[in-house]
Structure 1
């Protein structure tokens, strides 16, 4: 219990009946279910970041470089890796991190309007590529080569991406609450 008085809790999401994240199918086609759950996780990240600008770069706690902006940059690189590199076989270098600087996605997340705009632009472009790739794929069993795991199917990548977003959205919950007390479904 806080000794500084009651904590302000701003609600990010008020009406669960209109929350599009809850629209993922619960029966039927596997691809529709997986893409619905992934869309819900992506939307959650956007909602956790909504209404913030420079605050997106606020760090969790020292010495961590974890921030909402770092998560956006990280997930742009993750989307790019799995959908462009592994499944589509494209030679697309990481955008925010590298072998030499593996934490560049978080370390470079600074409160600059240009850095913030670039992160969202790149993330949206990678999501659009992934969505188009999944829609055009003949089935969930198509596979690509990953240097770490070997052959991975589109099904596996979709499940992994849902897990990746869900884990990081847990971080986003805590980061957002720390910034302004906002919580949500």
Structure 2
């Protein structure tokens, strides 16, 4: 075994999956803008699932460092609300309530992310329902540059929203890397 093989073997020893087993398959190359955006978004969503895989309710709800309320479970809840807001309210123009945020507690997605299996199950169910809605919406919309009017009368394009949602996931996956490493030492990829 060469020194390079030893280093490569060690580098993957505490990561989530080996490269050949990684479910994130989008390579970023396509002449179709919709395929590119949907592919990057799909891979960001899969990254969230990877970061949370194999953890119990206590681990998912574990806070980063005081006074932060940041946890993996809080991220799942936050991203469910984020998907709901951008795809249902902004793009579809639906007047839907927040899943977690309330007037008296804007950060309930994080603050009420407690180590309860029922809370975890609901968070994943909510997130999956919002992802399914968003995927259906994106697949069914025509021109990504078309301006749509949201429930508040503001207009934006599908392209702008999808890029923003990808950016939101990418930022939070950096947080998820740190949270997971604090929990069990597994490193991001």
What are the equivalent positions in structure 2 for 1:10-29 lying under 5 Å apart?
10-14=14-18, 16-29=19-32
Contact 1:13 / 1:184 at 8 angstroms: preserved in 2? no
Correspondence for 1:51 among 39, 49, 54? 54
* 1:136 and 2:140 correspond: yes
Is the CA contact (8 Å cut-off) linking 2:73 and 2:110 kept in structure 1? Answer: yes
Q: Deviation string for 1:52-84 (max 9, x for gaps)? A: 112000000001100000000000000000000
Trace 1:103-118 onto structure 2 (pairs within 5 A): 103-118=107-122
- The aligned residue for residue 71 of structure 1 is 75
> The residue matched to 1:22 in structure 2 has which SS?
coil
- For 1:75-94, what aligned pairs fall within 5 Å after superposition? 75-94=79-98
Q: How many residues align?
A: 176
Q: CA RMSD in A?
A: 1.7
Which segments of 5 or more consecutive residues in structure 2 lack a partner in the other structure? 1-12
SS of equivalent residue, structure 2 residue 148: strand
Question: Shift in Å at residue 24 of structure 1?
Answer: 4.0
* Contact 1:176 1:183 survives alignment (8 Å): yes
For residues 165 and 152 of structure 2, what CA distance do their matches in structure 1 show? Answer: 16
The CA distance in 1 between the partners of 2:65 and 2:188, in whole Å, is 22
TM-score normalised by structure 1 residue count = 0.89
* Cα deviation, residue 139, structure 1: 1.6
Check if 1:172 corresponds to 2:176: yes
Contact 2:95–2:151 (Cα < 8 Å) also in 1: no
SS for the counterpart of 1:152 is: strand
Distance across 1 between alignment mates of 2:188 and 2:114: 25
Alignment check: 8 A CA contact 1:66 1:106 kept: yes
3-state DSSP of counterpart to 2:115: coil
> What's the CA shift for 1:144?
3.0
Q: 1:101 aligns with which of 99, 105, 112?
A: 105
Kept after mapping to 2: 8 A contact 1:10/1:180: no
